[in-house]
Each structure stands twice: as structure tokens, then as C-alpha cells.
Amino acid sequence: MADAFDALTRQDKGPRTLSTLDAIRSLQAQFEEYPCKPQTGMHYGEQTKYVTWRFGREHESIEVLHITDVQFGHVECRTHRLIEYRDWILAKPNRFVLLGGDMVDAATVLSPGAPWENVCGPQSQVYRFCEVMAPLRHRILGYVGGNHERRGLKTFGDLGILIATLLRVPYSSGQQLIDIHYGRHRPFKINLWHGIGSAQTKGAKAQMISRFMEKGDAQLYLVGHLHDLLLLGGWRTIRKAGHNNVHIEKIFGGMSTSFLSYWGTYAEVAGLSVSDVAMLRAVLDYDGGYEVTIR
């Protein structure tokens, strides 16, 4: 628990004596501007369901990393691994990130587990998570909420909206459609969702991903939630109007794991899948090719 508390507070530069307004100003003073401004649509209250990004030839390739199920604030969150991923993304200007939900653990008396499994309360977790992610804010291309953000609904509200408001990033509590225009990708389409269910076998988890892949026209479908690693590939035929022909397009759907340790957590107690940190990554080439890898 001491390690978890140290990891949470390593970003601190002294006692927390700032007012709320000054604390937010201090946080947002660290932000860099996006390299290109997004176009957004399908706004529902504070939520944005559709985000479009347009990149020029300034990069030889675009890398998009999935980060999901951080569960920041849990005593067994591997915060040092999150910082490793953050710094890896920042090491090159062509690397970006999609947040897949469960960014904070946010245990309350009404949620499964116990509040004393957390280092601090939900609102403190939100702010401290934003402190850790502030240097990365201008690389966040999308963010969907998970069941842990929704733990606040009965007592406070959607914690994902608070995180997105502090970081000033596009957020959806459900699914988010992300278009990336880059080179011959016009566009590269990603469907981002946290995922659902309590499946324990690989086959059942694959079915959840497969059903998601049937509900859109994206090339890449990303989920988390079940703390396991899966990558499914497939093909889709697309009619070429006026050419009496079809184009065969490859598609991928995948699940990244979690930053939560297995031993000493509810995952071990419930006999869920053992996993280490492994996040999916898409690499887009300027000529229209792409690959999906695991980091």
C-alpha cells in the first residue's frame, strides 16, 4: 500500500494548499495545444460521440496506443507502468493515445469491493490522475468511460465527464467514433468502447468483441473491461459504386488488459484472468497501410 501511495503522490511538488481554482489553473498550465484541432459532432450534453483528426505529412507514420483499465487510486494499481507508457508516447511526436475507460478505481460504499482498497477518495483520484496525464493531454485523441467512471453516478455523477473537463479532451460515456485523416487514410476509422459483461473464457470474450465489430464500419475496434488480451482479424467487402466491383478491407478488433495487479485484488479472489500490462497499438503508414501490434 505504501508503494501505491508513493506512486499516487510522486507528482506532488509540495503540500496541497492551493484553492480549487488555483489547482485547476496549475494543472492546465501544463497543457500543450493539440498539433491539429479536432472536428467534433454528435454532442449529447457534455459528451462527444464523433471526433475527426486531420494530420499532414509532418510524420512518417502515426501511432495510436490504447490505454484502458488503469484503475488509478487502487492500492494495487501499477502507476509506474502508466508513467512508463506516458513517457514512451511523449518520446516521439507521432505517438497518440485513446483512453478506454476505468481510468480511476473510484470505490464507494455502494460499489463492489471496499473503499479502503483505494488510496484516496474518488475526487482526489480524478485530480491526481489528471496530474499524471497532464503532460500527455495534447496526445489524447479520444476517451470513453467505463463502469468505474460510472461508479459515481449514484452519488456524484459520471467521473469521466469530470476527467474530460479537467483535461479538456473529447469524451463519451458509451462509444466514440474516431476518424483519422492521414495520407491515403481518408479516413482510418476507429470505434472505441469500454466493453461489457463478465465473460471468463477466451471464446466468450471474443464473442463480445466480434459483436462489437458487426455494429459499425471501422477498421479497428477497441475494448477493455475484462482485463485480458485478445486480437481478432477479419475482412469486410465494400461495394465500389459505379465500378461493379468490391473492395476487400481488413478489420481488427481487440481487447487490451489492465494496469491493476492480479494478486491481492478482486481478480484473484474471483478467479478471473491473470494478466500483465499489454496495450494494443495501431501504426498508420502514409501510403494507406497499417498494422496492429501489442505493446
Q: What is the pLDDT along the chain (295 residues), one digit of tens a residue?
A: 445 545 454 544 444 556 777 888 888 888 999 999 999 999 999 999 999 999 999 999 999 999 999 999 999 999 999 999 999 999 999 999 999 999 999 988 877 767 778 999 999 999 999 999 999 999 999 999 999 999 988 888 899 999 999 999 999 999 999 999 999 999 999 999 999 999 999 999 999 999 999 989 999 999 999 999 999 999 999 998 888 899 899 999 999 999 999 988 888 887 878 889 999 999 999 999 999 999 9
CATH code for the domain in which residue 285 is found:
3.60.21
Which residues are 237's β-sheet partners?
248
When divided into structural domains, the chain yields a total of 1
Return the closest-CA partner of residue 96 out of 110, 83, 86.
86
Task: Render 94-126 in DSSP notation, one character per residue.
Answer: TEEEEE-S--B----TTSSS-GGGBSS-HHHHH
Return the closest-CA partner of residue 89 out of 227, 279, 218, 276.
279
Range of the domain at 160: 2-11+19-294
- The Cα 210–Cα 219 span in angstroms is 13
Q: At what angle do helices 122-133 and 79-90 cross, to 10 degrees?
A: 30
Task: Give the gyration radius of the chain's Cα atoms.
Answer: 19
